[in-house]
A and B are shown apart, each in its own frame.
Chain A
Amino acid sequence: MARKKISKQINCINVIFVEGDADEILFNRLIQYYRLMGFDTNGIVQNTHGFPDEKNMRKGLKKLELESKNPVVFNAVVCEYDTDVFVKKIQLEPNWKKVEENLKRNYSVSHFCRIEAKTSIEDWMLDDIESLLKALNLPSDTTTKGRDGQEKVKNLFKKKNIVYDRHKGKEKIKPILDKLDISKIRDARKKELKEFERLLGVKNLDDRN
Chain B
Amino acid sequence: MVALNKITIRGFRNIEKFSIDLKDITSLLAPNNYGKSNAMTAIAFGFQFIKSLPKTRLGMMGDQSWISINKEIAGKPFVFEEEGAIDDNTDFIYGFSFEWKRNRRNDKEDLSEGQIVSEYLQVRSKNGEKPKFTKLINRTSANKAMYVPSPTGRCNKEILIESSELVLNKLYNYDDLFYHDSIEIIKNIEIKWIDTLANPESFFMPHMLVKDGKRQLIVESWISKYLYELKQNDKDNFELLVSAITNLVPTIEMIDPVVINNINLKIDDDAPFELPDQYDIIVKEKNNNQQTRFQLLSTGSMKILNLLAAVIKSQKDGVQLLLVEELENSIHPRLLQSLLSSISDFLGGTKLLFTSHSPNLAKYLSAPQLYIGLPSEKGFVDFRTLKPSKVTHVLKIASAGEMSLGEYLFDLMLDLEYDSNSVSELFAKY
Contacts and interface: CB of A to CB of B under 8 A. Distances in A.
A91 B239 contact: no
Residue of A89, A94, A163, A165 contacting most chain B CB atoms (<10 Å): A163
A162 B247 CA distance: 10
B90 interface: no
A50 interface: yes
A168 B366 contact: no
Given A161-B236, A161-B239, A90 B367 contact: yes
Given A89-B366, A90-B367, A165 B399 contact: no
Nearest to B369: A90
Main secondary structure of the interface of B (DSSP, over half): helix
Given A90-B362, A90-B363, A168 B402 contact: no
Interface in A163-206: 163, 165-169, 171-172
Which of B345, B391, B395: most chain A Cβ within 10 A?
Answer: B345
Interface of B: 235-236, 239-240, 243-244, 246-248, 250, 334-335, 337-338, 341-342, 345, 362-367, 370, 391-392, 395-396, 399, 402, 405
B232 to A, nearest CB: 15
Nearest to A49: B334
A92 B338 contact: no
B331 to A, nearest CB: 12
B235 to A, nearest CB: 8
Top-10 shortest CB links A-B: A161-B239, A92-B395, A168-B338, A163-B243, A169-B247, A163-B244, A165-B247, A162-B243, A165-B338, A167-B338
A105 B240 CA distance: 47
A21 B345 CA distance: 18
B80 to A, nearest CB: 30
A21 to B, nearest CB: 10
Given A50-B337, A165-B247, A165-B338, A88 B345 contact: no
Interface residues of A, number: 23
A55 B404 CA distance: 10
A172 B240 contact: no
Contacts of B370: 90
Contact of A88 (B334, B362, B366, B402): B366
Contact of B402 (A55, A94, A158, A162): A55
A167 B365 contact: no
Nearest to B392: A92
Interface of A: 49-51, 53, 55, 88-92, 94, 154, 158, 161-163, 165-169, 171-172
A90 B240 CA distance: 28
Contacts of B392: 92
Contacts of A154: 345
B367 A165 contact: no
28 contacts: A50-B337, A51-B363, A55-B402, A88-B366, A89-B364, A89-B365, A90-B362, A90-B363, A90-B367, A90-B370, A90-B405, A91-B363, A92-B392, A92-B396, A92-B399, A94-B399, A158-B345, A161-B236, A163-B243, A163-B247, A163-B342, A163-B345, A165-B338, A167-B337, A167-B341, A168-B338, A169-B338, A172-B247
A172 B236 CA distance: 17
Contacts of B334: 49, 168
Contacts of B236: 161
A49 B360 CA distance: 12
A168 B332 CA distance: 13
B320 to A, nearest CB: 23
A158 B399 contact: no
A167 B239 CA distance: 19
Contacts of A49: 334, 337
A171 B250 contact: yes
Given A50-B337, A50-B363, A171-B250, 7 more contacts: A55-B402, A90-B367, A165-B338, A168-B248, A168-B334, A169-B338, A172-B247
Nearest to B241: A163
B363 A89 contact: yes
Given A50-B337, A165-B341, A90 B244 contact: no
B243 A172 contact: yes
Nearest to B393: A92
Contacts of A162: 240, 243
A56 to B, nearest CB: 10
B45 to A, nearest CB: 31
A163 B240 contact: yes
Contact of A90 (B239, B250, B335, B365): B365
A8 B96 CA distance: 78
A89 B342 CA distance: 16
Contacts of A167: 337-338, 341
A88 B232 CA distance: 37
A78 to B, nearest CB: 21
A135 B392 CA distance: 41
A92 B362 CA distance: 13
A172 B253 CA distance: 11
B335 A161 contact: no
Given A163-B244, A168-B247, A90 B337 contact: no
A162 B370 CA distance: 29
A49 B332 CA distance: 13
Nearest to A162: B243
Nearest to A92: B395
